[in-house]
A and B are shown apart, each in its own frame.
Chain A
Amino acid sequence: MKKHLSLLCALTFSISAVGVAFAVDSPDEMLPNPAQEQRAETIGAQLRCLVCQNESIEDSSAPLARDLRRVVREQVETGKTDQQIMMWMTDRYGTFIRLSPPLSITTALLWIMPGLALLSGIGLAWWQFRHRNNATPSNDLTEDERARLAMLTRENQS
């Protein structure tokens, strides 16, 4: 089990690593400063491509995603903070552009779902266990079985 878990972790990490590595379409999109480029990629990975909707702008080849990548890089270069860049994006496209949306009434169900799923799983397992224990028949013989056993042993002896 432990081995499987670490294998799963390794797999997940390698997939996400590939996702970041192949982010931009062409090298000339990238910033010359590697630290700034890294920051831009991290920010871009949190922004939804509004054309493809299930990809980040770093993963997408849509023209709008390319434009937004350029905006992110320009703002990183001018020294804006991550928060300022996120704000610039949500001002224009709403919180929908954030791949991890902030906790609000509309997103509450989304955020509490993992906890809800875990709790209901534990509840179901507990319920199952309790009923299985109750249903186990006792090892003691009933009155009828005892009588039948006595009869059978008598038949055998005679």
Chain B
Amino acid sequence: MSTTSRRKLLTALPIVGASALGFGFWRMLHGMQNGGFDPRAVNTPQLGHPIPHFSLPGLPASGANADQTTGFNASELQSQHTPILLNFFASWCIPCVAEMPGLRIIAQEIPIWGIAYKDKPEDATAFIHRDGSPYARVATDQNGRAAIDWGVTGVPESFLIAPGGRILWHNASGLTPQLFDAEIRPLLAPYR
């Protein structure tokens, strides 16, 4: 190799390397923005697995909604005849507040069961009834142990449960009607 072509190669190498890296990072950031790439989605060990065993108490009563006081457990979730959307939330979690209006829209299509994660029961009750509860059933996981068995890393987090108790879908970010249409609705087709 002659000196000039070698010099050209050595000059080009860092530029080509930096451009390749830049392009890769741009793709990742772009994907994170339009939802095509979710760095947290690499880890969904729960998919296809049966739901973990749990039994959680309900929330204190607040007027109209009596279903929230009983809580629920794994076998109740397993014995449903339609898919259920399970949503971990907390009144102290800002993304959960942002998620609520969307959940109310989604609740018209599929029953949503909520689990209040590490929340004071009265705070959780006040939170879900402030603008109307999207939840068909509510339970509370005050010490966060059940959430660990579900592989929850932070609220909000949602699971789609098939009749019989298999986890069909898991998402570690806020649920929106757009995400519901794109990812959950196709999964519901076999159960309609």
Contact = CB atoms under 8 A, between A and B. Distances in A.
B45 A90 contact: yes
Interface in A49-74: 50-51, 63-64, 67-68, 71
Contacts of A71: 148
Interface stretch (B20-28, B61-69, B149-157, B174-182): B149-157
A67 B148 contact: yes
B4 to A, nearest CB: 13
Interface in A76-119: 90-96
**B interface, how many residues as a size bin?**
10 to 19
B154 A92 contact: no
Interface residues of A, number: 15
Interface in B109-155: 118, 143-145, 148-151, 153-154
B1 interface: yes
B42 interface: yes
A107 B148 CA distance: 25
Which has the most chain A C-beta neighbours within 10 Å: B1, B43, B153? Answer: B153
Interface in B40-91: 42-46
Nearest to A68: B148
B43 A96 contact: yes
A96 B145 CA distance: 19
Nearest to A50: B153
Contact of B44 (A64, A94, A131): A94
25 contacts: A50-B153, A50-B154, A51-B153, A63-B118, A63-B144, A64-B153, A67-B144, A67-B145, A67-B148, A68-B148, A71-B148, A90-B45, A91-B45, A92-B45, A92-B148, A92-B149, A92-B150, A93-B45, A93-B151, A93-B153, A94-B151, A95-B45, A96-B42, A96-B43, A131-B1
Interface of B: 1, 42-46, 118, 143-145, 148-151, 153-154
Given A92-B46, A92-B150, A94-B45, 8 more contacts: A50-B154, A51-B154, A64-B148, A68-B148, A92-B151, A93-B45, A94-B43, A94-B151
